[in-house]
Amino acid sequence: MKKVISLIIVICIVFSSVAVLAEEETEVKKYDDFVYITEGDRNVIIGTDAFGETLISNTKDNSKSQSDYFTYDEADDNVTITGLGDNAPMDIVIPGEINGKKVILETDAFEYEKIESVIIEEGITEIPQKCFYNCKNLKSVILPDSVTVLGYLAFANSGIEEIALPEFVENSGYSTFFECSSLKRVDLNNAKSVGLFSFRYCDSLETVTHSGNLTGIADFAFAGCSGLRNIDLSTVESFGKNVFQGCGSLSFVNLQSLKEWEGFYSEDVDDESMMLKSQGFYSHHTYSDPAEYKALLLGTSIDTVRIRFPETEDEELGVIFINSTVKNIVFDNFPENINRWEFYSAKSIDTSMNRKVKLEKKHKGFTIYGKDDGVREYAEMVGAEYRELIDITVDGKTLYSDVLPYIKNDRTLVPMRAIFEALGAEVSWDDATKTAIGKKGGVEVKITIGENVLYKSGEAIELDAAAEITNDRTMVPVRAISEAFGSTVEWDNDTKTAVITN
């Protein structure tokens, strides 16, 4: 009996010790943009990155200094990391200092290595040429705000799935993320420009965000990004050649700030009926008519384009060339000195230096949106359908979407996902019941297609206009959704704008 009691006591002590140890090892700690727990002699990241999603686990051996994992050359005032040491883990933290000296990364330092995640500490200012080139297993990268330069092919051909550029990086670099086929989301942060070939052939890339400083995109920057659906171009003033070549999923472009344009391309040459040459907007001439006009050329996946005309004193401000998929043209302004704006369907486009296109004049089949008499008169003149443009602003920022807002039963309807995300709500869709669900701050909003009722945390609210499907988008009443989440909505009749304060 005593042996049994002793055994029970021993077991209790063991389990008690394990419980205490587990409690000590699961303390949540924070480092920059993520949180982690300590398990024995290893730290495991469990927190979030700039996009608010769980990172892959990152581990390190606490018994060693981080400098033990690298080969490096030490100078009087800095240390240059040249590669990985023999016993480096697959998840590494690159220190900003070694032996009290500033760390510099060497060109090609980690090329072809099998590392899986990288955290770079404050102090490092440049990711040099091909530093992480062809790191196929590399899924997660966290860059510090001290980094200001991203070198040629720095992360090209790597396996990273999302990236947030540091705060002070002004240009995304030349071919920096070339052929990162697993890359899905990019936050350009405060970058002013996207470099040549920066994201070319990132065919899984779906969303590109930025803080509003983006003004320029260089040649082929997103060419081959066949999955790209969402990118705000409203601040961009200049585009290079073939920027969105092969972006077959991109359906909406907002060109309100456009001053220089080099073109969207995606088809093969068919005829020599038209030659284009670069001159601000594309200039063009035919062999029979050498007169030149400003022009805009769009790619074959675009169905909605929004444009603000550049300030010019030209008597004839030019020609827009578009292809047969475009259905909606949105004019933000319509200068009085425009004497000729023609719309064409580009049947074929040559992406070579000759830039040849075969054109067919087309006006019918378009819907033209605007807010002034000039746009209405132009639509009537060319025989296109005219609709009044409705705008939505959230905290002063215009909400852009691939399906334009419209009024039904005196209520403004907007794409469900666009308004939910603009209000900061998490969005989900129940396909079985055709119900859109948004959650924010303890409030759950549900709205079902075809029903004149909205549910706010279970409470039924009657609607004047039911949710409906338009062009494969769920359209919902903007006032009802916004007010359900506690926002205020005002209508500016002069500008035809729903003003939301979140």
Distance CA(73)–CA(106), nearest Å, equals 10
The token pair at 89 is 């883990």
Distance CA(493)–CA(477), nearest Å, equals 17
pLDDT number for residue 20: 40
- Domains detected in the chain: 93-382 (3.80.10), 391-501 (3.30.457.10)
User: Taking the mean position of all CA atoms in its chain, how far away is CA 144?
Assistant: 20
Distance CA(439)–CA(427), nearest Å, equals 7
pLDDT number for residue 56: 40
Are the beta carbons of 420 and 477 closer than 8 angstroms?
no
pLDDT number for residue 79: 94
Q: How close are the terminal C-alpha atoms of the chain, in Å? A: 70
Beta bridge partners of 29: 36
Helix locations, 351-501, DSSP H: 373-382, 416-422, 478-484
Residue type, 222: F
Q: 93-108 burial string, b = 16+ CB within 10 Å, else e?
A: bbbebbeeeebbbbeb
The token pair at 96 is 């900003």
User: Taking the mean position of all CA atoms in its chain, how far away is CA 133?
Assistant: 23
Helix locations, 295-452, DSSP H: 373-382, 416-422
pLDDT number for residue 367: 81
Please provide the DSSP assignment of 99-151 as one string.
TTEEEEEPTTTTTT----EEEE-TT--EE-TTTTTT-TT--EEE--TT--EE-
SS (H, E, C) 271-320: CCCCEEEEECEEEEECCCCCCCEEEEECCCCCCEEEECCCCCCCCCCCEE
Q: Is 353 left (phi over 0), alpha (psi -120 to 50) or beta?
A: alpha
Number of Cβ within a 10 Å radius of residue 112: 12
Number of Cβ within a 10 Å radius of residue 450: 9
CA-CA distances (angstroms) from residue 397 to 108, 212, 382, 394, 500? 42, 10, 32, 5, 9
Q: Is the dihedral of CA 384, 387, 388, 394 positive or negative?
A: negative
135 φ, ψ (degrees, to nearest 5): -85, 85
Distance CA(484)–CA(420), nearest Å, equals 11
pLDDT number for residue 43: 53
Distance CA(180)–CA(201), nearest Å, equals 7
The token pair at 366 is 């378009």
CA-CA distances (angstroms) from residue 315 to 72, 143, 247, 319, 374? 64, 50, 35, 13, 16
Helix locations, 385-448, DSSP H: 416-422
Distance CA(261)–CA(297), nearest Å, equals 9
What does each of the 502 residues of the chain score in pLDDT, given as a tens digit? 444 445 444 444 444 443 443 344 455 555 544 555 555 555 554 444 444 444 444 444 444 455 678 999 999 999 999 999 888 888 999 999 999 999 999 999 999 999 999 999 999 999 999 999 999 999 999 999 999 999 999 999 999 999 999 999 999 999 999 999 999 999 999 999 999 999 999 999 999 999 999 999 998 899 889 888 888 888 888 877 778 877 777 777 777 776 665 443 333 223 333 333 222 222 232 323 333 334 454 544 566 777 766 555 554 444 455 555 667 777 777 766 554 455 555 444 443 333 444 445 555 567 888 887 878 887 787 777 888 889 899 998 888 887 888 888 889 999 998 999 999 999 999 999 999 999 998 999 999 999 999 999 999 999 989 999 988 889 999 999 999 999 999 999 888 899 999 8
pLDDT number for residue 430: 92
pLDDT number for residue 375: 81
How many degrees, rounded to 5, is the angle at CA 261 between CA 258 and CA 263?
Answer: 130
pLDDT number for residue 327: 72
Distance CA(203)–CA(299), nearest Å, equals 17
